[in-house]
Amino acid sequence: MIKKAVIPAAGLGTRFLPATKVQPKEMLPIVDKPVIQFVVEEAISSGIDDIIIITGRGKRTIEDYFDFSPELENHLAQNDKRDELEEIRAISTLADIHYIRQKEPKGLGDAVLKAEKHIGADPFAILLGDDIIKSNTPCMRQLANLFATYECPLIAVENVSRDRVPQYGIVKGERVTESLYRVSDLVEKPKPLEAPSRMGIVGRYIMTPDLFDCIKRVSRSTQDEVQLTDAIRLLLRERDVYAHVIEGKRYDTGDKIGYIKAVIDFALEREDLSHEIGRYLIEKVSGPKGDME
């Protein structure tokens, strides 16, 4: 059973500057809920109750968000805003959340390594803090169910279009079931014609603790960063690693287009917003009624 999770959230968020100069990209709202709350809720709904968030300089807002807020709670109580008060209090009790700081931006592998002492000898989940995956069965639950059977590291992947292949780490593997592959290699951002497949790695993993030794053995990239993909390639030499084609829709909210799509889609699902937003989008496409007369 997977009970621990690492959520790396120390990235600088340069694609969203200047907004992310003072606000973590993981705290950007999808309507009125920050991205990282979707990630935490996925972990919890997958049976995980011990969460380590890797933060960095300027990320204190994340810690404050999941903490109690006595002044705000008192204000809501005094103004009889019970629904809002209940929602705010629920955020503070979602799970047992710990914070570890990555003092320098040295890559995703280095961020995960910061959690080694807390993870200990247990298998653990990794959920990237800017990926939202909407599915009937939570994505991490899909991986956890497979881990219960195979007891091997797992990588979540999705089929990507040929033109988007250079944006992903791509998996090469042998099919085991309709949605499961035994990984033989990982290729970071290949050219479309050189890619071994179109299975792109998305921000969900289940790993065993021997990954930490592999991270320590990885050579730093030209940007002085330790890449998680390189560590998993070393792990492949020692044990089987599987890739699971996820069921669900993924939003890369670290990308401007992915973020905007997430805001629109989640707004259209809300009873209090869907009518007005839907009408507005129709008008933007076809023009207001007055323009058509």
Predicted confidence pLDDT, tens digits, the chain (293 residues): 899 999 998 887 788 888 888 888 899 999 989 999 999 999 999 999 899 999 988 788 888 888 888 888 888 888 888 888 888 888 877 878 999 998 887 889 999 999 999 999 999 999 998 899 999 999 999 999 999 999 999 999 999 988 888 888 899 999 999 999 999 999 888 898 888 899 999 999 999 999 999 999 887 655 578 889 999 999 999 999 999 999 999 999 988 999 999 999 999 999 999 999 999 999 888 876 545 44
At 291 the three-state DSSP class reads helix
Sign of the alpha-carbon torsion through 152, 249, 27, 201 = positive
Beta-bridge partner residues of 52: 6, 98
What CATH number is attached to the domain comprising 201? 3.90.550.10
Query: Does the bond joining 288 to the residue before it have cis omega, within 30 degrees of 0?
Result: no
- Total structural domains within the chain: 1
What pLDDT is stored for residue 30 in this prediction?
Answer: 94
Do 144 and 206 touch, CB atoms closer than 8 A?
A: yes
DSSP 219: P
Residue 128 CB coordination number (10 Å): 24
CA distances for 282 relative to 243, 273, 274, angstroms: 39, 14, 12
Phi-psi region of 222 (alpha: psi -120 to 50; beta: other; left: phi over 0): alpha
194: in domain: yes
Task: Please state the separation of Cα 289 from the chain's center in Å.
Answer: 41
Domain containing residue 193: 4-254
244: in domain: yes
Nearest to 156 by CA among 166, 167, 147: 147
138: in domain: yes
Do 59 and 66 touch, CB atoms closer than 8 A?
A: no
287: in domain: no
Do 133 and 48 touch, CB atoms closer than 8 A?
A: no
Task: Please state the separation of Cα 44 from the chain's center in Å.
Answer: 13
